[in-house]
Structure 1
Amino acid sequence: MASSFEKFQRRRIISSYFSVVLCIFIVLTLLGALGLFVINTDKISGYVKENIPMVVYFKREANDTVTQAFGERLKNSGYIKDYKYVSKEDAVKNSPDLMEGSEFLEGENPLLDNYEIHLKSAYVDKKHIKDIEIELRNDPYVGDVSYDNVLVDKANENINAISYWILVISGVLAVVAMLLINSALRLSIYSHRFTIKTMQLVGATKTFIRRPYIWKGIQLGLLGSFFSMIAVTCLAYWLDGVFPELHLWADWIPTAIVLSGVLATGIIIAAISTFFATQRFLNLRTDDLY
C-alpha cells in the first residue's frame, strides 16, 4: 500500500512539474514571438516604406545621355535605396494589355522612359517626399513625378498605431505571464505544504526551507525557458526564410537579445513566484493548511 501511495505521489509531483514547465514554455514563447516583432519594428516598418515606389517620367526629348546622367545623379543621392530604369520599349513589354490593339502597334509608343525609385525608409514621409519631388522636378527633362500620397500617409499612420498597440499588448502579456507562471508554481508548492510546515515545526529556518524549493523553481524556469528559446529560434529562422529582406538571421544581435530576455524572464519569474509561494505556506497556521 505504501509503495502504491508513493508511486501516486511521485506521479502527481511529476504531473505538477510538467504543468509548470508547459505553462512557462507557452507563455515565454508568446512573449518571445512578440519580442521579436517589437525589437524588429524598425526593420518591418522600413521594409514596408521602402517598397512604396516613386516613378520619375521623362519628357519625349530626353535621350539616352540624359537618362544615363540622371541615373548617375540618383546613384549619388543619399535618399535613394534602389532604382531601376524602364525604357518606353520595356514598358510596352511589361504591359501586355496595351499590345493587344493593332492601332497601338501601328502608332507611336505613348509610354515614356522612366525611373522607378525606392526611397530609404527615413525619407518616406510627407515632408521629405515633397522636398525630393521638388528637387526632381527641377530637372528640365523630367516631365512628371508620381507616387501614392495616400499610401505613404496610411503606411506611417498604421505603423505608428501598430507599434503603440504592440507595446500595450506586450505589457499586458507580461503581466499575464507573471500571473500564470506564479499560479502554476503555487499549485506545485501546494502539494508540499505539509512538508514545509513540518520542517518549520522542527526548527528549520525559513531560509533553509525555501532554498531547495526556489532552486527547483529555477530549474523548472530554466527548462521551460530552454524549450521556449528553441521555439523562438525556429520562429526567427522561419521568418528569415519568408522575409529575407528583414535579415533576422544575418543580424543576430536583436534575436540574441530576445532569447536572453526569454531566459532571464523564465528564471526571475520562477524564482520570485516560488519565493512568495513558499512564504505563504510558511506564514500559515497549521490549522489553515487543511
Structure 2
Amino acid sequence: MSRQHDRYQKRRLRSSYFSVIVSIGLVLFLVGLLGIVVFKTKDVTDHVKENVALTIFLKDNATKTQTEQFKSTLENAEYAKKVVFIDKKTAAETFQKDIGEDFVNFIGENPLKNAFDVYLNANFVTPHQIEEIEKDIKRQKFVYEVSYDKPLITILTKNINRLSIWILGFSIFFTFVAIILINSSIRLSVYSKRFTIKTMQMVGATKSFIRKPFIFTSIKLGVVGALIAITGLGGIIYYGDIHFPQFSLLNNLEFLIILFSGILLLGIIITWISTFFATQRFLNLRINELYY
C-alpha cells in the first residue's frame, strides 16, 4: 500500500513540475515574441525615418571646390546617413521624363539648381533637430535653399511617439501579467508541499534550510521553461527569416543574445522570488491555518 502511495505521490509531483514548466515556458515564449515585435517595430520606424530626405539647393555661383568641400562636410556630419549629389543637368533630364516635355528649350535655360539630397539618421528626424540642421546649413553663403516636408516630419514624429508609448505600456502590462502567471504556478507547486514545510519546521529546521531545496528546484524548473521558450523562439525566428527575409531576423546577433539571455534571466529571477515568498508565507502560518 505504501509503495502505491509513493508512486502516486511521485506521479503527482511530476505532473506538478510538468505543469509549472509548461506555464513558465509558454509565458516566457510570449514575452520573447513581444520583445521581437518591439525590436522590429523600432527597425521599421527607423527605416521610415531614414527615407526622409533634406534637399539642399546650391546657388549658381557655387564653385566646384566649394561643392566638393560641402559634400565632404555633409558626409562627415553626425546627422547624415547618406548624401547624394544631383547636378542641375541630371535633375532637368529627370523632370523632363516626368512631365513629358522639354521645358529647358521652351524656357531657354535650365532653371533648376545643383542640389544635395541628405538622408538623415533616424535619431535626428524630429522637427526641432531638423530645424537646427537647417539653420546650420543655411549659414553657408553658397546655399540657396533648404527644403523638406515639414508637415510629414511633424505627423511622423507624433505617430511614432504615440506608437512607442502604446508599445511600452503594453510591454509593461504583459510583463506584469507574465510575472503573475509564473508566480501563481510556483505558489500552487509550493502549496502542495505546505505540510512538508511545516513538518520540517517543527523538527527544528531553520527557515533558510527549508527554503533552499524549494528555491533550487524552482530555479531548475525556470531554466527548463526558459530553454523551451528559447527553443520555440529560435524556431519562429528561423522560420520567419526564411519566409520573410526582409525582416533580417537572424542578422542581428547582438539582439538575439540579449533576447535569449533576458528570457533565461527572467525565468530564474521570477521563479526565485516567487518561491522565496511562497515558502515564507507557509513558514509563517500556524498549523491550523494550513487547512484553509
State the TM-score bracket (shorter-chain normalisation): 0.7 to 0.9
1:222 CA drift (Å): 1.3
The match for 2:172 is 171
1:177 CA drift (Å): 2.2
Q: 1:178-209, CA deviations, whole angstroms, 9 ceiling, x for partnerless residues? A: 21111111222233344444545555554444
1:268-287 equivalences under 5 Å are: 268-282=269-283, 283-286=285-288
Secondary structure of the corresponding residue to residue 26 of structure 1: helix
- What letter corresponds to residue 248 of structure 1 in structure 2? N
Cα distance in 2 for partners of 1:176, 1:189 equals: 20
The match for 2:156 is 155
1:226 CA drift (Å): 2.4
The match for 1:80 is 80
Tell me the matched-pair count: 286
Secondary structure of the corresponding residue to residue 16 of structure 2: helix
Cα distance in 2 for partners of 1:103, 1:263 equals: 65
1:149 CA drift (Å): 1.0
Query: Structure 1 length normalisation: TM-score?
Result: 0.72
Cα distance in 2 for partners of 1:63, 1:205 equals: 85
Structure 1 position 289 matched with structure 2 position 291: yes
1:47 CA drift (Å): 4.5
The match for 1:20 is 20
1:76-115 equivalences under 5 Å are: 76-87=76-87, 90-91=90-91, 98=98, 101=100, 113-115=114-116
1:171-210 equivalences under 5 Å are: 171-200=172-201, 204-210=205-211
1:119 CA drift (Å): 2.1
After TM superposition, the structure 1 stretch with the greater mean CA deviation from structure 2, 66-75 or 12-21, is: 66-75
Q: 1:54-97, CA deviations, whole angstroms, 9 ceiling, x for partnerless residues? A: 12345678787775554344334443221112345655776797
Cα distance in 2 for partners of 1:54, 1:244 equals: 27
Please tell me whether the aligned partners of residues 35 and 259 of structure 2 are also in contact (alpha carbons under 8 angstroms).
Answer: yes
1:128 CA drift (Å): 3.4
Cα distance in 1 for partners of 2:205, 2:132 equals: 75
- What letter corresponds to residue 127 of structure 2 in structure 1? K
- What letter corresponds to residue 117 of structure 1 in structure 2? V
Cα distance in 2 for partners of 1:245, 1:189 equals: 39
1:220 CA drift (Å): 0.4
1:26-65 equivalences under 5 Å are: 26-35=26-35, 46-58=46-58
Query: Structure 2 length normalisation: TM-score?
Result: 0.72
1:274 CA drift (Å): 1.9
- The RMSD of aligned alpha carbons is 4.4
The 1:201–1:129 alpha-carbon spacing in structure 2 relative to 1, beyond 3 Å, is closer
1:136-151 equivalences under 5 Å are: 136-137=137-138, 142-151=143-152
After TM superposition, the structure 1 stretch with the greater mean CA deviation from structure 2, 214-223 or 174-183, is: 174-183
- What letter corresponds to residue 221 of structure 1 in structure 2? G
Structure 2 segments unaligned to the other structure (5+ residues) = none
Structure 1 segments unaligned to the other structure (5+ residues) = none
Please tell me whether the aligned partners of residues 88 and 112 of structure 2 are also in contact (alpha carbons under 8 angstroms).
Answer: yes
